[in-house]
Structure 1
Amino acid sequence: MVPTYAIFRGKDRYLPYNWWSPCELNVSLYFYGSIIYQLVVVMISGMNNSGIDIVCYKISKIICCQMDLLIGRSTQLNFLGQNNVEPLLNDLIKHHYEIIRLVEILNDLFSPIALVQCGTSGLAICFVGFQLMVTSIEISISYYLTDWYNACSSNVRNHLFLIMERTKRPLELRAGGVFPLTLSTLMSILRSSYSYMAVLQRLNKK
């Protein structure tokens, strides 16, 4: 990219971004038209990039809100009154299944994009993935904090066992299906980037 002060320096004309132009840049109309075209393209690319991040963030927040609702509903379980526990528990299981399915759809849609976005907006994406993972872990804790020890029905106990076993594996957003988007992943990327930069600096000094 050419610095702004160099675009109009002297008689030579430079575009903000070096590219092949089919027009003669010595003609003012073509020169200024090319500048406007490049700026519009950069703005559209930036808005698309930001839009993808925002959509992914908003959908992740919706999933987190659904998990918060699930956690809140799980506190309503009262195993001393066995009559209404099983229908509510079945409803909670269905709700949890829909959340898992929504995360899978989100991964299918944004996993390839997230792999590319890690290089540009890794902080935002990894933070969203970390928030989703932490909230999913809280589901298991919320069930454990209920009075599950009062459950007399074997069917109810089996349901609780399956729920807790499933929540041992937290929900994650994955970049390209390769690695999870968490803050630890972000730190690994930053450490690797710093190491590569240090090696390149040492090579340049030699």
Structure 2
Amino acid sequence: MAAIVTDNVTLFLNLPRYILVYLGIWLRPDNYATLYRLYTAIILLSQYSFVFLEFIYIALAWGDMDAVTEASFLLFTQASVCFKVTRFLINKKKFVDLMSLMEEEVFQAQNDRHVRCLLNQSVLLRRLCSFFLGSALTTCTLWGLMPIVDRTDGERIFPFLIWMPVNPQKSPEYEYGYFYQMAAIYISAFLFIGVDNAALSMIMFGCAQLEIIMDKIEQIKRVPMSGKLKKDERERLIQENQVSLVECLKHHQAVIRFIEKAEDTYHANIFFQLTGSVAIICIIGLRITAAAPGSVQFIGMLSYMVTMLSQLFLYCWCGNELTIRSEILREVMYLCPWHEQSNSFRKILWMAMERMKRPIIFKAGHYIPLSRPTFVAILRSSYSYFAVLNQTQNKEK
């Protein structure tokens, strides 16, 4: 059956490509390469300088528990952005190889049902990531409003607690500092969604391919044992079914190789995000309890909590979907009319099902499986640390 040529890269990577191109992180264009490098350096400088200034502030405020905790959650977030973007740039060759794999013939749709599988997964991912992006931008906007709404005694303050080499009480120094902080944090939000979406797209592409394999298995034809079929027609059907099964297994092996390469490319990013999320969620919880209910700071922290939880949930949910589909595929293979096929068909099917007893699991750091239990475990750990720190803080007061 002839393949229907679909642009899988555009289908799954259009959103991160659009974001990262405009932030200078995507593949370098052939034209204006020098200017693009300079633009990339400016973007990276905005993020690394923010982390550096955050370190200075924490060092100067060391001993003040409230100031340190208020500054720490942003330090973890910005450090995560810098780490992810740097890893993305270092592993750009691996990323190019993954995009090349996505366009291989084995991953091309062969009919309208396969196209729908690809479309459904790409649209679902786009909607989830759009919610994450909207939540992140809402949080950034609320942070930008804090100096305006929560201004006390007419004293001007910056949106974030970082050391600044300018005086907020003077103009235009305050305006420059305010613009730098807000520009850096908005860039950070877009970098987050761009790099994360690129990794999640690879996982969801694997899910779509497993669904296509299931569809192929379901199309294996029955070979009735009655005398209605002539011998040559019966042998032809048996041969076609065996060819289809072998094709499905080759497709499955290609999916496994693709996911392994994707894990090798992104495992460090996701591991850093999962481990850092424990500290970030814990600190955000402390800031929420300290803020006045209904204030802009309270709403901003609550929005930030939703953003971090949605980011964490996206990774765990996508990884869980991949594992579930790899397990369902084994059941679908068992439900095919194998009892009406040849002995060689049954032997191949048996070996494939034995191999599929080990499902496809995407792991962060080659160690932590992306799954719903992992998501719950991280929330439990975050709450445990939060309870301890909150109790310690209350005793000090």
Partner of 2:272: 116
Q: Kindly state the Cα deviation for residue 21 of structure 1 after the two structures are TM-superposed.
A: 2.9
- Is 1:130 aligned to 2:320, yes or no? yes
C-alpha distance in structure 2 between counterparts of 1:166 and 1:11, whole Å: 69
Match in the other structure for 1:68: 211
Tell me what 1:168 maps to.
357
Q: Which residue of 2 aligns with 1:87?
A: 243
CA distance in 2 between counterparts of 1:169 and 1:91 reads: 20
Cα 1:202–1:108 change in 2 (3 A) is same
- Gaps spanning 5+ residues in structure 2: where? 1-69, 71-142, 224-236, 278-307
Runs of 5+ unmatched residues, structure 1: none
Shift of 1:168: 1.3
Given that residues 323 and 361 in structure 2 are in contact (C-alpha distance below 8 angstroms), is that contact kept between their aligned partners in structure 1?
yes
Residue 202 of structure 1 corresponds to 391
Q: Measured at CA, do residues 27 and 203 of structure 1 come closer, stay the same or move farther in structure 2, by a change above 3 Å?
A: closer
Aligned to 1:104: 260
User: 1: distance between equivalents of 2:322 and 2:152?
Assistant: 51
Post-superposition offset of 1:150 = 2.6
Contact 1:7–1:13 (Cα < 8 Å) also in 2: no
One-letter code of the match for 1:67? L
Q: Which moved more, 1:78-87 or 1:174-183?
A: 78-87
Q: Structure 2 residue aligned with 1:187, among 369, 372, 376? A: 376
Residue 78 of structure 1: aligned partner: 221
What pairs up with 1:45-60 in 2 under 5 angstroms? 45-60=188-203
User: What letter is aligned with 1:204?
Assistant: Q
RMSD: 2.2
Rounded Cα–Cα distance in structure 2 between residues aligned with 1:79 and 1:112: 46
Counterparts of 1:136-175 in structure 2, within 5 Å, are 136-153=326-343, 155-175=344-364
Q: Is the CA contact 2:320–2:371 (under 8 Å) kept in the aligned structure 1?
A: yes
Distance 2:263 2:350 in 1: 27
Q: Given residue 360 of structure 2, which amino acid in structure 1 is its aligned partner?
A: L
Q: Distance in 2 between matches of 1:27 and 1:199?
A: 41
> Does structure 1 conserve the Cα–Cα contact (< 8 Å) formed by 2:147 and 2:156?
no
Q: Which has the higher helix share?
A: 2
Range with greater deviation from structure 2 (5-14 or 33-42): 5-14
| Paired amino acid for 2:253 | Y
The answer on 1:42 being equivalent to 2:185 is yes
Q: Post-superposition shift, 1:99? A: 0.8
Distance 1:200 1:11 in 2: 33
Deviates more, 1:22-31 or 1:100-109: 22-31
**Which amino acid in the other structure matches residue 31 of structure 1?**
Y
* Residue identity (%): 27
Give the CA deviation at 1:116: 2.6
Task: Supply the AA of the counterpart residue of 2:332.
Answer: S
Instruction: Judge which range, 93-102 or 83-92, deviates more.
Output: 83-92
Residue 157 (structure 1) shift: 2.4
* 8 A contact 1:75–1:146 mirrored in 2: yes
Of 140-149 and 22-31, deviating more is 22-31
Q: Given residue 30 of structure 1, which amino acid in structure 2 is its aligned partner?
A: E
1:15 alignment partner in structure 2: 158
